[in-house]
Amino acid sequence: MKKTPVYGLPYATVMRIRTARAARRGFSFALEMKVASLMASGITGFLLLGAQLGRADTHYVSPDGTNDAIGGYTNWVGAATNIQLAVDAADPNDTVLVSNGIYTINQQISITKAGLILKSLEGRTETVINGNYPCSTNRCVYLNGSGATLDGFTVSNGCFVMTVGATYIGGGGIHAYNGIVKNCTIINNLLDGQKGGNAAGGGGVCMSGTGNAFMTNCLVLNNTAISNTAGGVYVHSSKATDCVISGNTARSGAAYAGAAYSYAGKLLNSEILNNWSEGSGGGVALQAGATVSNCIFRGNVAKNGSGSGVYSEQGGYILKCTLSEHTNSGSVLYLRFYGNVVNNSIISNNYAKGIDCSGPAADQAFKCNNTVVCYNQQGGVGLYHPSYMRNCLIIGNSGMSGVIIWESCTNALISGCTIVSNSYLSSYGGGLVIRSTNMAMISSCIICSNSSASASYPDIYDLREPLNSNTVAYCCLGKRPASFTGPGIIEGNPRFLDFAGGNYRLAVHSPCINKGFNENWMTNSLDLDGKARIRNGTVDMGAYERPLLTGSTLSVH
| One-character DSSP codes across 386-402 | SEEEES-EEES-BSS-S
pLDDT at 199: 57
Nearest-angstrom CA–CA distance, 478 and 541: 13
pLDDT at 163: 74
pLDDT at 74: 96
* DSSP H helix total and E strand total for the chain: 4, 54
The 3 state secondary structure assigned to 132-162 is CCCCCCCCCEEEEEEEEEEECCEEECCEEEC
Widest CA span in the chain: 105
For 65-124, the pLDDT digits (tens) are: 999 999 999 999 999 999 999 999 999 999 999 999 999 999 999 999 999 999 999 999
Region at 436 (left for phi over 0; alpha for psi -120 to 50; beta for the rest): beta
Question: Alpha-carbon dihedral of residues 469, 475, 476, 482, nearest 10 degrees?
Answer: 10
Q: Name which of 305, 213, 304, 310 is nearest 259 in CA terms.
A: 310
Which residue type occupies 375? Y
pTM of the model: 0.88
pLDDT at 167: 64
**3-state DSSP assignment of residue 373:** strand
Q: Which residues pair with 101 in a beta bridge?
A: 127
Nearest-angstrom CA–CA distance, 41 and 34: 11
Nearest-angstrom CA–CA distance, 331 and 34: 69
Distance linking the first and last C-alpha atoms of the chain: 66
Which residue type occupies 127? T
**At how many degrees (to 10) do helices 44-53 and 17-40 cross?**
140
What are the start-end ranges of the E strands in 436-494? 439-443, 446-448, 451-452, 460-462, 472-473, 476-477, 490-491
CB 57 within 8 A of CB 95: yes
Q: What is the residue extent of each domain of the chain?
A: 100-318
pLDDT at 36: 38
User: Would you give the distance in Å from CA 265 to the centre of its chain?
Assistant: 11
Which residue type occupies 198? N
Mark the ranges of the chain whose per-residue pLDDT is less than 70. 1-56, 165-168, 195-199, 360-363, 466-470, 549-557
